[in-house]
Chains A and B, each alone.
Chain A
Amino acid sequence: MQDFLAWMNETPWSIALRESFFVWPLIEATHVLTIMLFVGTIFMVDLRLLGLAFRKVAVSEITSKILPWTIAGFGLMVITGLLLFYAKPLVYYHNLFFRLKLLILIVAMGNILFFHKRVQSGVNGWDLSSAIPKSARASAVISICSWILIVVAGRMIAYDWFDCEKLEQGGLLNSLASCPNSQISMLVTE
């Protein structure tokens, strides 16, 4: 993996992207701003599932009308996120917050699958009811918590508190970040 990412890091497009004066900020800004479309709409759906907002709106309506926008936002986030990773693969690969973000993303994805397979399939029974099943409410709580944590981890990627050169060689955090030896570490820092 390390070799592959080191190769990717040196490809002309990767270098051009991270050194670009306009394109990199534009992609990064799009990635961050899509939060309004993606996380914002998912919060609205979750608030409905928790019975805290849109109580007069059927759950099936809110999921059918709003979730397509959430998915569009997610698609844009993934595309811009992949481009950001492509521009600085080694930096992100060894960033502990980035790794944490990916882990929570897996939990969030699992929760979405659970919601669609288990919760949404039985929605007809409680579509407009104020008594929302525990599984649906649990799914909404997990969703809100996981997206908040993803935003937290994503924001913290910008800080260098746990960068490889600051971590003790052979320590736990050093291992968790798969920190390379000192020579490659210099490359990552660059």
Chain B
Amino acid sequence: MATCEYDSELYECSFSEKYILPACKYFDQSAIADFIKDSLFIVPWAGVIHLLSIALLGGAILMVDMRVLGSGIRSQTPHQINQVVRPITIAALALAILSGATMAFGELMKLYYSPPYWMKMGSLAGAILFTYGVRNRAIKTDATLGKMGWVLAGISLTLWIGTFTALSNTMAQFALLLLLIALGAFAWFGRDPINAAERSSIRLKLISAASIVMWLTTAAAGRWIAFY
């Protein structure tokens, strides 16, 4: 809790009301926000770039995770595939964040009061931490995470669980739960390469399944902003 002031009177308020709301109000009245709001085309085109970068990011992430789960390219190790797609994921993520920020500047105050937006931000932070701090490390070391890896896994999974439980839509929760079960089953029963040396451990498979679910949760929460 924090202390806010209104009409010279002090009252107890939340951290976000004290610090984030004034920042949103400030940026909402900035010249760049006005420019974006006044333009007929910036937000629609930022939306297109956002979608395309999400597609690229999703495709690149799936290439690695499907390989780990036993259904992707088998002539390369997951680490080799990850090295190929790493620049693609970084570029796509940068583009998605840039285009997302552009769209956000067009409706900052609406987003401040939008639970799906904060869910998306939480899930996005979790997905980035998990992908770059946990999954990539696990792929390189065949699921040996180390202390830092476990800490990051804990933080990112907490962020994801927070997002999942905060989803106000029961059907969205149900759909994600179904996906989680399907991916868990896929990790367990998934077709593996015949060569045992190419097979990923069950822990690595579960990490890849979690990676897919985290990115999908982020994208789903992002889409939900429009419906809220």
Chain B residues within 8 Å of A62, by CB: 73
A123 within 8 A of partner (CB): no
Known: A53-B84, A53-B88. 20 other contacts (CB 8 A): A22-B169, A25-B169, A25-B224, A29-B227, A33-B216, A36-B54, A36-B55, A36-B57, A36-B62, A36-B219, A40-B59, A40-B62, A44-B63, A53-B85, A57-B73, A57-B76, A61-B73, A61-B75, A151-B52, A155-B48
| A40–B57 touching, CB < 8 Å | yes
User: Interface digits, A22-33 against B, CB 8 Å rule (1 contact, 0 not)?
Assistant: 110110110011
Complex CA–CA separation, A38 to B223 (angstroms): 17
| A43–B59 touching, CB < 8 Å | yes
Q: Determine how close the nearest CB of chain A comes to the CB of B85; give it in whole angstroms.
A: 7
Size of A's binding interface in residues, CB under 8 A: 36
Could you list which residues of chain B lie within 8 angstroms of chain A, going by C-beta atoms?
40, 44, 47-48, 51-52, 54-60, 62-63, 66, 71-76, 80-81, 84-85, 88, 169, 171-172, 175, 215-216, 219-220, 223-224, 227
| A26–B172 touching, CB < 8 Å | yes
A contacts with B: majority SS? helix
Point out the residue from B48, B60, B76, B224 that lies within 8 Å of A151, measured CB to CB.
B48
Could you list which residues of chain A lie within 8 angstroms of chain B, going by C-beta atoms?
22-23, 25-26, 28-29, 32-33, 35-44, 47, 53-54, 56-58, 61-62, 65-66, 69, 148, 151-152, 155-156, 159, 161
Point out the residue from A42, A66, A148 that lies within 8 Å of B72, measured CB to CB.
A66
Q: Which residue of A lies closest to B215 (CB)?
A: A36
Complex CA–CA separation, A42 to B59 (angstroms): 8
Point out the residue from A35, A36, A56, A159 that lies within 8 Å of B76, measured CB to CB.
A56
19 contacting pairs across A/B (C-beta < 8 A): A22-B169, A22-B171, A25-B224, A26-B175, A28-B223, A29-B224, A33-B219, A35-B55, A36-B59, A37-B58, A39-B52, A43-B59, A61-B74, A61-B75, A66-B73, A148-B52, A151-B48, A151-B51, A156-B48
B contacts with A: majority SS? helix
Chain A residues within 8 Å of B40, by CB: 161
A25 with B227: in contact, given A36-B216, A44-B59 (CB under 8 Å)? yes
Q: Which residue of A lies closest to B227 (CB)?
A: A25
| A58–B59 touching, CB < 8 Å | no
Point out the residue from A41, A61, A152, A156 that lies within 8 Å of B59, measured CB to CB.
A41
B51, B59, B62 — which one has the most chain A CB atoms within 10 A of its CB? Answer: B59
Chain B residues within 8 Å of A69, by CB: 62, 66, 71
A57, A58, A148 — which one has the most chain B CB atoms within 10 A of its CB? Answer: A57
Complex CA–CA separation, A22 to B59 (angstroms): 27
Q: Which residue of B lies closest to A47 (CB)?
A: B88
| B72–A65 touching, CB < 8 Å | yes
Chain A residues within 8 Å of B219, by CB: 33, 36
Chain A residues within 8 Å of B48, by CB: 151-152, 155-156
| A155–B57 touching, CB < 8 Å | no
Point out the residue from B66, B71, B215, B223 that lies within 8 Å of A29, measured CB to CB.
B223
Lowest 6 CB-CB distances: which A-B pairs, in order? A40-B59, A36-B58, A39-B55, A40-B58, A29-B223, A25-B227
